[in-house]
């Protein structure tokens, strides 16, 4: 867990991921903001909620973000339980995801479950305006995951979760194309600068992706 520059608290719950993005911080550093984000082991719910309570003793945060040095929906049960915990306490929650939640959890209606748990917002990393570029940039484990990422964002929107697509400003990235896709879908769009370990560009919000 760490506090970003934008008034948010970030939860690092897994280092596992279903992508291997060409720009991923994990390729070349151990963390952001000087925080080492390599987990010796993944946290359980009680450890997470205790850590949030301790963090909030230092002052409130605008939101709590499931982010990490990995893909949070690798730990869907924990995301749902922690989201409920936050929602009960009226703390805004956001999921920062590669959009593979449904592929990783085929037995769960992930957008519906997130909405039922009380998730306020989701930020989905799109990073490309077409499937071929997506496969080259994000190097996903799953075949045909680009369509699944778009579907995930569409379904989150339908569940009334505040939805934003993002794209990292990587050499060759079609940011305008990604923005057009977001516009057509009716969700927000944000371009992110490439992150640095000190976290002032795309990690301006403290995010690893």
Q: Which residue ranges make up the site for ligand SF4 (CB under 6 A)?
A: 17, 19-21, 24, 26, 70-71, 98, 125, 208-209
Instruction: Give me the least distance between CB of 34 and ligand SF4, in Å please.
Output: 19
DSSP 73: G
The Cα 160–Cα 4 span in angstroms is 26
Q: Which residue, 14 or 91, has its beta carbon nearer to ligand SF4?
A: 14
> Minimal distance in Å, beta carbon 52 to ligand SF4?
21
DSSP helix/strand/coil, 89: coil
The distance of closest approach from Cβ of residue 98 to ligand SF4 in the complex, given in angstroms and rounded to an integer, is 4
Residue length of the chain: 209
Q: Which is nearer to ligand SF4, 85 or 134 (CB)?
A: 134
**Closest separation between CB of residue 38 and ligand SF4, Å?**
12
Identity of the residue, 10 or 85, whose beta carbon is nearer to ligand SF4 in the bound complex: 10
Closest distance between ligand SF4 and the C-beta of residue 117, in Å?
A: 22
Cβ closer to ligand SF4: 30 or 53? 30
CB count in 10 Å sphere of residue 100: 25
List, in sequence order, every beta strand (DSSP E) within the chain: 2-3, 8-11, 31-32, 35-36, 63-66, 93-97, 121-125, 162-168, 188-192
What phi-psi label fits residue 97: left (phi over 0), alpha (psi between -120 and 50 degrees) or beta? beta
* Paired tokens of 1: 């867990």
Q: Which CB, 37 or 91, lies closer to ligand SF4?
A: 37
């Amino acid at each position: 867990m760490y506090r970003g520059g934008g008034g948010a608290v970030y939860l690092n719950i897994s280092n596992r991921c279903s992508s291997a993005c060409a720009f991923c911080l994990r390729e070349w550093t151990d963390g952001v903001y000087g925080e080492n984000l390599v987990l010796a082991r993944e946290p359980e719910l009680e450890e997470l909620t205790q850590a949030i309570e301790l963090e909030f003793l230092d002052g409130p945060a605008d939101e709590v973000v499931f982010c990490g040095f990995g893909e949070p929906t690798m730990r869907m049960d924990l995301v749902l339980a922690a989201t409920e915990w936050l929602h009960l306490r009226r703390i805004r929650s956001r999921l920062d995801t590669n959009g593979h939640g449904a592929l990783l959890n085929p037995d769960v209606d992930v957008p519906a479950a997130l909405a039922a748990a009380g998730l306020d917002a989701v930020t989905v990393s799109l990073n490309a305006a077409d499937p071929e570029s997506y496969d080259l940039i994000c190097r996903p484990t799953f075949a045909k995951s680009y369509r699944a990422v778009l579907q995930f964002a569409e379904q989150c929107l339908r569940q009334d979760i505040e939805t934003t697509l993002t794209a990292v400003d990587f050499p060759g990235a079609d940011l305008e194309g990604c923005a057009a896709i977001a516009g057509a879908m009716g969700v927000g769009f944000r371009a992110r600068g490439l992150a640095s370990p000190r976290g002032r560009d795309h990690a301006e919000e403290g995010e690893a992706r």
